[in-house]
């Protein structure tokens, strides 16, 4: 991408979108186009079409989505399916109509079957049943990557899809009702430390294994893919390393400095038992993550403390 190119970052206020903006700006890209959800409702086809007709972006990072943790995915099932289907369909179709040079769509590792062989290879897609708690979100993301793939095949556009593993980092969502496991635990440990609570409760058994990628590493990978990947098939983005929820909790506890006891609420769902990405294709292209989990958690917690009164909670 030329540094003068007009680049639309959809979802620039979110965890991923804000990291993409930081990465682009640090590399000298100055012609960035952004719209908040209040300024542009990406679920509105006419509004999206008008935006593309007016702005005519050269490149698109499609990071806008309705997202959340296990509870949010399970409760707002209709919204997660409808909102994400509409967002991706409108942006991808308008990008095609207005001859965007390249589009990158962000999926999620939840697209894979609940019991997919580990680590999960790209060819495991649609080989089994999805995890029930996030099935609507996963179906929407599968539809988005298939839109990109088939627009490439039918229309010859250069629309690629990246499937990141579990993400965390600067500008994460720390709302206990709707956030993902890592920021939720960080918030719990922080609040417990402030109030001198004796225990912190962790959902589930603590046994499930998860992979976590620092969001600024993801942004670096996405810019790498924009420059080096041009195939219709989607590609995994992750670290290739996993950790149990219990070990994750202990790591966050140490970083935050909580000195109380961990309690595991086994009445709460564990979700998928294991979810590790096979990132061999991305490594073969020449990219791998460089932020270890403890360092990423320390950087995230430092940002959390600095923005305690201003960020999304």
Binding annotation for NADP(+):
11-17, 106-109, 141, 164-167, 180
- Output the furthest CA–CA distance in the chain (Å, rounded): 60
Is residue 136 a contact partner of residue 80, using CB atoms and an 8 Å limit? yes
Give the relative orientation of helices 15-26 and 215-228 as an angle to the nearest 10 degrees: 60
Cis peptide before 131 (omega within 30 of 0): no
Listed residue (154, 126, 129) closest to 142, CA to CA: 126
How does strand 199-203 pair with strand 243-244? Answer: unpaired
Numbered residues of the known binding site for substrate: 188, 203, 210, 270
Q: Determine the Cα–Cα distance for residues 297 and 87; give it in Å rounded to an integer.
A: 31
The catalytic residue among 29, 96, 112, 137 is: 137
Token code pair at residue 127: 């080989």
Q: Determine the Cα–Cα distance for residues 66 and 180; give it in Å rounded to an integer.
A: 13
Listed residue (130, 131, 134, 142) closest to 74, CA to CA: 134
Is 155 one of the catalytic residues?
no
Token code pair at residue 153: 């095949």
Cis peptide before 119 (omega within 30 of 0): yes
Q: Determine the Cα–Cα distance for residues 302 and 100; give it in Å rounded to an integer.
A: 38
- Catalytic positions, written as ranges: 137
């Amino acid at each position: 991408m030329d540094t003068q190119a007009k680049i639309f970052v959809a979802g620039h206020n979110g965890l991923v979108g804000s990291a993409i903006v930081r990465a682009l700006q640090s590399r000298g890209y100055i012609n960035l186009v952004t719209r908040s959800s209040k300024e542009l409702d990406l679920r509105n086809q006419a509004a999206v079409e008008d935006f593309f007709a007016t702005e005519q972006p050269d490149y698109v990072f499609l990071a806008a989505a309705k997202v959340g943790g296990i509870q949010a995915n399970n409760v707002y099932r209709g919204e997660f399916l409808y909102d994400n289907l509409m967002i991706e369909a409108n942006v991808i179709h308008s990008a095609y109509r207005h001859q965007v040079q390249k589009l990158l769509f962000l999926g999620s590792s939840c697209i894979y079957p609940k019991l997919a062989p580990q680590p999960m290879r790209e060819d495991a897609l649609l080989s089994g049943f999805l995890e029930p708690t996030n099935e609507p979100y996963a179906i929407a993301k599968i539809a988005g990557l298939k839109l990109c793939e088939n627009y490439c095949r039918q229309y010859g556009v250069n629309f690629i899809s990246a499937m990141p593993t579990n993400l965390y980092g600067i500008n994460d969502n720390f709302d206990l009702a709707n956030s993902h496991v890592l920021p939720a635990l960080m918030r719990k440990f922080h609040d417990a430390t402030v109030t001198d609570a004796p225990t912190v409760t962790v959902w589930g058994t603590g046994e499930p294994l998860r992979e976590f990628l620092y969001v600024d590493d993801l942004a670096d990978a996405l810019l790498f893919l924009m420059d080096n990947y041009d195939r219709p098939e989607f590609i995994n983005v992750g670290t290739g390393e996993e950790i149990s929820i219990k070990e994750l909790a202990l790591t966050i506890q140490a970083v935050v400095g909580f000195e109380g006891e961990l309690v595991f609420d086994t009445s709460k769902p564990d979700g998928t038992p294991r979810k590790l990405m096979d990132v061999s294709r991305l490594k073969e292209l020449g990219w791998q993550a460089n932020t270890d989990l403890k360092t990423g958690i320390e950087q995230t917690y430092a940002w959390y403390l600095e923005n305690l009164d201003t960020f999304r909670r």
